[in-house]
Amino acid sequence: MKKLVISIVLVNLLAACASEKPQTPAEAAPAPVATATAAAPSTVPVAGAPVAATSPARVARAPVTATSPARVAGAPAPAVTSASVAAVDSLNDQTSILTQRSVYYPFDVSAVQEDDKPVIVAHAKYLSEHPERKARVEGNCDERGSNEYNLALGQRRADGVKQMLVLGGAKASQIESISYGEEKPSALGHDETSWSQNRRSDIKY
């Protein structure tokens, strides 16, 4: 009986040993533990997940150009040089008194009226500051009176304006005076309204 029991125990021990498979060195080695710096983050984007700091998409940055908001914001505006701004002649400035280039007279009068003297003074100053410019003063009359008388009256008017321009600083060589008498009316009517526009001296550059 004892022999039978011992035999059964031995058979069971042999069966247990046969069922155990020996481990290879590779199987016996412990699995590596992942560290925070062991592997790069996945390059597959996950919807809604922030991009890692070491992600290539975060590292690769487009160069900042001159039109980038980062360059424009707070940056001083480029200086405007005088060469980029065209000089404006004051004769063409619509806000300047120099746009007034005619003075007017009462009937049979050749003296410049007080109201028109500031115009003559402004043109004299302009001519003195621009010695390369030249002007012609044209004296005119209304239709009343003979042609000879009106030509002489128109010349006195033109000469009077020229004299004031010279006294104001312009050179006599810059100014020519001429009379057209009644030949170049500004208004064609035959009444005082038209005649008052024709009794004038024009300053032309």
Percent of the chain residues past pLDDT 90, beyond the cut:
57
What is the reported pLDDT for 88? 75
Band of residue 72 on the pLDDT scale cut at 50, 70, 90? very low
Band of residue 21 on the pLDDT scale cut at 50, 70, 90? low
Buried b (16+ CB within 10 A) or exposed e, 68-103: eeeeeeeeeeeeeeeeeeeeeebeeeeeeebeebeb
Band of residue 116 on the pLDDT scale cut at 50, 70, 90? very high
What is the reported pLDDT for 200? 98
Predicted TM-score (pTM) of this structure: 0.59
The model's pLDDT over 28-49, given as tens digits with 9 standing for 90+, comes to 445 544 444 444 444 444 444 4
What is the reported pLDDT for 7? 66
What is the reported pLDDT for 95? 95
Lowest mean per-residue pLDDT among 8-12, 108-112, 145-149: 8-12
The model's pLDDT over 158-179, given as tens digits with 9 standing for 90+, comes to 999 999 999 999 999 999 999 9
Residue 43 to residue 108: CA distance in whole angstroms: 100
What's the average model confidence in pLDDT over 49-62? Answer: 46
Could you state, in order of their start, the residue ranges of all structural domains in the chain? 113-204
Lowest mean per-residue pLDDT among 71-85, 99-113, 137-151: 71-85
Domain made up of 113-204: CATH architecture: 2-Layer Sandwich (3.30)
* DSSP code per residue over 46-97: -TTPPPPTT-HHHH--PPP-TTSHHHHTTPPPPPPPGGGSPPPPGGG-TTSG
What is the reported pLDDT for 44? 43
The model's pLDDT over 89-105, given as tens digits with 9 standing for 90+, comes to 899 999 999 999 999 99
**Radius of gyration for the alpha carbons in the chain, expressed in angstroms and rounded:** 53
